[in-house]
Chains A and B, each alone.
Chain A
Amino acid sequence: MLWQALTLQLGYNATLVAIGAILLGFAAGVTGTFLFLRRRALVSDAISHATLPGVGLAFIVMVALGGDGRNLAGLLAGSAVTAALGLLAVQWLTRRTRLAEDSAIGAVLSVFFGFGVVLLTVIQTMESGRQAGLDSLLLGSTAGMLRSDALLIAVGGALTLILTLILRRPMIMVAFDEDYAAALGLNIRQVDLATMGLVMAVTVVGLKVVGLILIVALLIIPPVTARFWTDRTERVWLLSGVIGGLSGFVGAAISASAPALPTGPIIVLTGFSVFAASLFLAPNRGVLAAVIRHVAFQRRVHVRQGLLALAHGQPIYERYTVRLLHRAGLSRPDGVATEAGRARAAKALLDEKRWEILRAMPDHEAAAALYDGMRPIETVVTRDQLAEIDTHLAAPQEVPA
């Protein structure tokens, strides 16, 4: 069943929904990247919660006009209106009062959502509202979807994605370097507005698939995940889009493969699995890479200190150091240096002495700043400079017999 779902063989509707989820996830991943880089990830939470009263109002209006309150296109249109109002409220509160953005976000999301709940209870008391099923928009549900709704989601996802790709250049510029973008003549406020418009589009299209409580995850998790793998903006957004699309696809497929697997949570958990894997496994920024780096560094310190101790003829008490030296063939298991170990120890001592001389020379201040007790001096100075340093070394002395 899952295999069929993953290969899009569960029927026309499920396929449309899966395609819609891929497109939506991709658009969300790309749009989310710019929110994330602008450090405004949680604004999307306010926008998504602000859709609820719009859904309720749209239902009431459609019923009052004698239509079917459950028309998805109408509900989504209504949700876009209040989402925009919510966004305006956040901006108004942050700009006009001294409240910080996080307070504004929290206030808008709770108040709009609260009002939406009031409207939902009104709808429940309406004649036609008993079976409204509007709560499916809270958590997303693609089971038993109408064909027109599935089509709407696929088309909506495609349109959002196209818009995102068209707008991505100015958004990259603003996210990357606001001043530079302004100097190039871009209107920062308009670009920000466009970003927020895309967030709204993603939210509205995502209502039926992911649900309004969790859509924010689709905007946050992919860019955060992508950021682990690369430092380059133009790759972050692409990777983020791919991760978003993948989460959408796998989530929609798993959800379609069995009952009682709500689409939204599955998509979010899929995304989180990718995130968790990246957190641990990503090169450079991942936890595993950091641990490996730390261990390697520790070893270098131990070996270096061990060699210096050998050079001074001091005993080594640290077992780990002896083990490392022995494994490298530099000492015997009891900590006595081998031939190779004595040579390396002498070299270490010589390096240390050279560094000492270098650090005392005012001309080499920049090179001396690189001293960390482990760096081979040849990597810092030229051969000529090394020769100059060596002239300061004390001449070899005869060892008394």
Chain B
Amino acid sequence: MSGAEFVPLSLTPILIGVFAAIACALPGNFLVLRRQALIGDAISHVVLPGIVVAFLITGTVTAWPMMIGAAAAALLAVLLIEAIRRLGGIEPGAAMGVVFTTMFAGGVLLLERSDTSTVHLDVEHALMGNLESLIWLDAFGWGSLLDPEALAGLPPELLRMGLSMIGVVAFIWLFWRPLKISTFDEGFAQVMGMRTNLIGLSLVAVSALAAVAAFDAVGSIIVIAMFICPPAAARLMTDRLGAQVGWSVVFATLSAVLGYVLAGYGPLWLGAEDSVSAAGMIATMSGIVLGLAALFGPARGGAQG
């Protein structure tokens, strides 16, 4: 495949996919260990009403109001879950189920009732994203990477997703020790004087940030899959947290690249004419990686003695 074709059509989607996958997989490691894996699921559902309300207020489909709306919805959902859990004495799983289904239903209803025929905003888009459309039309080959004029035409999602990933990496790197200690032994962390509630809350906030940024670019399936599958697979490979995080980044990258390539070119190899959903394929690949890890991972059964 020549650079003239690859760089404009596939390079940016692959990069955005990889950035999104890593940004979600990193906090996912801690969520999986803390048994909060389904927070990613909940956040990616409640994002829908957030962007719909943002659209109804601003009347346009632009990135920043949508991101703000999505973040606000995620925050509202976390508060509601906590309130219902405390006020009603309901187990967290059920409280989460009540909140995210209701908010999602509200989002769908708003979307159906308002006139969005003029803009590209629908439930399918929210679920599946449109990774394939994030192409770099100004590029003509590898040389464009050095051409400032062409670089200016990069899809804005690339920059946003890249920045979000850097933000997530910085958070994990800066708070590595408190995160690690409070995840494995909350009591000990409290004795050490750490504010474990605050750490837990900021982890959820960072996850929400990653989810909202990734959602904007690639849809919510990838978000849920990447929060859980690469970290879960990584957990079956090793007993050490550092190594687990490393594996999860490898798995996330692998799933994103393989998934995109298979979605774009796989059908062509099989003789079909059109490509299939890249987001769906990336999620499928991450599932295959997890399946292999569950079958052959060295630490699949528990701590190695």
Chain A interface residues toward B at CB < 8 A: 36, 39-42, 45, 92-93, 96-100, 102-107, 109-118, 120-122, 125, 135, 138-139, 213-214, 216-217, 220-221, 223-224, 227-228, 260-262, 264-266, 268-269, 272, 275, 279, 285, 287, 290
Contact = CB atoms under 8 A, between A and B. Distances in A.
22 contacts: A40-B93, A42-B96, A42-B97, A92-B294, A97-B297, A98-B299, A99-B232, A99-B236, A106-B228, A107-B290, A110-B286, A114-B222, A114-B280, A117-B127, A216-B97, A217-B102, A260-B112, A265-B106, A266-B105, A268-B105, A285-B89, A287-B88
Given A98-B236, A98-B302, A118-B281, A139 B123 contact: yes
A118 B225 CA distance: 14
Interface in B65-123: 84, 87-91, 93-98, 101-102, 104-106, 108-109, 112-113, 123
Contact of A214 (B36, B104, B273, B276): B104
Contact of A110 (B97, B221, B235, B236): B221
A260 B250 CA distance: 45
A356 to B, nearest CB: 36
Contacts of A227: 90
A202 B300 CA distance: 33
A110 B108 contact: no
A214 B232 contact: no
B191 to A, nearest CB: 25
B272 A113 contact: no
Given A110-B225, A114-B225, A217-B97, 5 more contacts: A106-B40, A107-B287, A115-B284, A115-B287, A217-B101
B37 interface: yes
Please report whether the interface of chain A is mostly helix, strand, loop or mixed according to DSSP: helix
A221 B294 contact: no
Given A217-B101, A268-B102, A93 B294 contact: yes
B224 interface: yes
A117 B84 contact: no
A114 B37 contact: no
B37 to A, nearest CB: 4
Given A107-B229, A114-B284, A261-B112, A125 B274 contact: yes
A275 B225 CA distance: 30
A316 B114 CA distance: 60
Given A97-B294, A115-B280, A260-B112, A105 B236 contact: no
A214 B105 contact: yes
Contacts of A122: 267, 272, 276
A265 B52 CA distance: 15
Given A111-B290, A228-B88, A117 B302 contact: no
A109 B88 contact: no
Given A111-B287, A264-B105, A279 B84 contact: yes
Contact of B287 (A92, A98, A114, A120): A114
Given A113-B221, A118-B263, A107 B228 contact: yes
B282 interface: yes
Nearest to B259: A114
Contact of A287 (B40, B87, B229, B267): B87
Interface in B226-247: 227-229, 231-232, 235-236
A112 B286 CA distance: 11
B104 A117 contact: no
A98 B300 contact: yes
B236 A97 contact: yes
Interface in B252-302: 263, 267, 272-277, 279-284, 286-287, 290, 294, 297, 299-302
A102 B94 contact: no
Contact of B301 (A98, A109, A110, A118): A98
B50 to A, nearest CB: 16
A110 B283 contact: yes
B284 A118 contact: yes
Contacts of A217: 97-98, 101-102, 105
B32 interface: yes
B288 to A, nearest CB: 8
